[in-house]
Structure 1
Amino acid sequence: MDLGIEGRIALVSGADSGMGKQSARELLQAGVRVAITDVADGTLDEALQELTPLGEVMAVAGDVTDANDVERIWATVRSRLGDPDIYVNAAGVTGATGDFLDVDDAGWLRTLDINLMGAVRMCRQAIPAMRAKGWGRIVLFASEDAVQPYTDELPYCASKAGVLSLAKGLSKQYGKDNVMINTVSPAFIHTPMTDAMMHKRAKEKGVSFDEAVRSFLDEERPGMVLKRRGRPEEVAAAVLLLCSERASFINGANIRVDSGSVFTLAG
């Protein structure tokens, strides 16, 4: 299938691993010129080496919670590739977890700063050039948690609900400029983030890693009827569609990639 984006320019944040890296991979395979960004912790360089054989790709380290870093990321990409036509916001963290009464302001603010305000800062940089060109695609990573909150990770849930609202509002404002803005909502995908969650669960319960995964699915995610973690490429397939010319009439939508985890029709 011709996706109509060969030669386009994309920036993917949170791209050193997991769904962000896989989204960058899919875009490169579609002929897109790709910049990846994440914090400078060593894994970004590894991702760049892995992706380089697939096409034209560059990496720039930066922190989406730092406004100066955000400006520098975009300036660097513009100077080397040009203004991105596509922006994928995969930067995010689980953040502060635990009983609501035990999570302090710092935990809330850090989670919101990365997951929600990071998207705000990056979209501010992305949208003007897309409007000027009359073509753009923005995909923000939300989560099943945005519409089906879990009591032990409310800062994350609230931040992702904010991402859904942000994307919907932006889609109404800039869709008329042919800038299509949508979200994807994964659930329990096989990534370093969920690996860490399951290692912690296995230790707390005194069980194997695989049993921790099985019990989590049974006890915490009963709606996931496939009874397994999702694969990053299953999420990236939805991202790629939303980034493509094929998505020219999809705006303000949320695609769930969650094995049926969300029980309701709404949201």
Structure 2
Amino acid sequence: MIIDLTGKTAIVTGSTGGIGLAIARGLADAGASVVVCGREQARVDAALASLRDSRAGALARGVVADAGTAAGCQALIAEEPQADILVNNLGVYGAREFFAIEDADWEEIFQINVMSAVRLSRHYAQGMRERGWGRIQFISSESALNIPTEMVHYGVSKAALQALSRGLAKVLAGSGVTVNTILPGPTRTEGVIAFFAQMAAERGISREEMEVLFLKENRPSSLIRRFASPEEVASLCVYAASLQASATTGAALRVDGGIVESIA
């Protein structure tokens, strides 16, 4: 299968590293003109430099904006008013006991993980519908289905994204615009590496040992028995953004390593 996104503009939020950067690189390599979005100029510049080392990364450009806020979304829209592909990847997470999660924490995670996607999808979907073609993706998580006890607020926010995605897919039925969620499992991003390094230090073990222990204790149903790479997640996102995926919409597409205990 040859995926060709030549002539398509793709916006990927939270794309200065991790899964977002891998998605941006995959879309660029498929020929799309990719817009990298991040909060810091230095990180946006570094991501663009990385992309321009790839096969088609010369088409990439950057926007410095905090898409986790209403003002940041407006800034992004002002610089890039149209897109053919929108990947709502921006998200935050962090382990915290349920009883210690305060109202401000719930508000923050919903603003960043959910409302950023609502605001951007509300704008870009209208142009896609008018042109009769578009792809919208929400990067959810297997935690949307297996709500983790160590970060309930994160799991709830990701479950909300899946409901948003399904509802928007129905709104855009018959328009030529597809809307899907992508559900990664544990993925070895820079943030996750730092997160597990801290946990490992607290237990007096190596980070690699901590990853194995985490899967055993917290994700025992994993069938690949390892963390995925950002590129493995990105491959599914690139397919879902392709012309070939025109009949895939309203779906929750899993790249979770088999963690979710369901055949549906």
TM-score with structure 2 setting the length: 0.95
Query: Which residue does 1:44 correspond to in 2?
Result: 44
Task: Give me the whole-angstrom Cα distance separating, in 1, the residues matched to 2:192 and 2:71.
Answer: 30
Q: 1:71 touches 1:125 (CA, 8 Å); kept in 2?
A: no
CA deviation string 1:74-132 (max 9, x = no partner):
22124xxxx2100011110104x322111111111111111111111111121111011
Paired residues in the alignment total 261
Q: Which residue of 109, 112, 121 maps to 2:110?
A: 112
Query: Which residue does 1:228 correspond to in 2?
Result: 226
Q: 1:68 aligned to 2:71?
A: yes
Q: 2:67 touches 2:76 (CA, 8 Å); kept in 1?
A: no
Q: 1:176 aligned to 2:179?
A: no
Secondary structure of the equivalent of 1:55? helix
What code does the residue aligned with 1:37 have? Answer: C
Q: 2:4 touches 2:31 (CA, 8 Å); kept in 1?
A: no
Query: Which residue does 2:87 correspond to in 1?
Result: 88
Secondary structure of the equivalent of 1:42? helix
Deviation of the 1:2 alpha carbon: 3.0
Deviation of the 1:63 alpha carbon: 1.1
Query: Which residue does 2:15 correspond to in 1?
Result: 15
Secondary structure of the equivalent of 2:173? helix
Deviation of the 1:41 alpha carbon: 6.2
CA deviation string 1:218-251 (max 9, x = no partner):
1111111222110111101100011010111111
Q: 2:182 touches 2:253 (CA, 8 Å); kept in 1?
A: yes
CA deviation string 1:20-60 (max 9, x = no partner):
11111111111111111011163221101111242301000
Task: Give me the whole-angstrom Cα distance separating, in 1, the residues matched to 2:103 and 2:263.
Answer: 33
CA deviation string 1:182-213 (max 9, x = no partner):
01000110102211220121022111111111
Deviation of the 1:264 alpha carbon: 2.4
User: Which deviates more from structure 2 when the two are superposed, residues 141-150 or residues 2-11?
Assistant: 2-11
Q: 1:257 aligned to 2:260?
A: no
Q: Which residue of 239, 245, 248 maps to 1:247?
A: 245
Task: Give me the whole-angstrom Cα distance separating, in 1, the residues matched to 2:255 and 2:5.
Answer: 23
Secondary structure of the equivalent of 2:63? strand
Task: Give me the whole-angstrom Cα distance separating, in 2, the residues matched to 1:248 and 1:219.
Answer: 39
Correspondences of 1:194-205 after superposition (within 5 Å): 194-205=192-203
What code does the residue aligned with 1:77 have? Answer: E
Task: Give me the whole-angstrom Cα distance separating, in 2, the residues matched to 1:203 and 1:102.
Answer: 23
Query: Which residue does 1:145 correspond to in 2?
Result: 143
Secondary structure of the equivalent of 2:80? helix
Task: Give me the whole-angstrom Cα distance separating, in 2, the residues matched to 1:103 and 1:33.
Answer: 40
Q: 2:11 touches 2:37 (CA, 8 Å); kept in 1?
A: yes
Cα RMSD after superposing both structures: 1.3
Q: 2:166 touches 2:250 (CA, 8 Å); kept in 1?
A: yes
Secondary structure of the equivalent of 2:86? strand
Secondary structure of the equivalent of 1:177? coil
What code does the residue aligned with 2:193 have? Answer: D
What code does the residue aligned with 2:229 have? Answer: R
What code does the residue aligned with 2:137 have? Answer: V
Quote the sequence identity (%): 35
Runs of 4+ with deviation above 6 angstroms: none
Query: Which residue does 1:123 correspond to in 2?
Result: 121
Task: Give me the whole-angstrom Cα distance separating, in 2, the residues matched to 1:156 and 1:232.
Answer: 19
What code does the residue aligned with 1:36 have? Answer: V
TM-score with structure 1 setting the length: 0.94
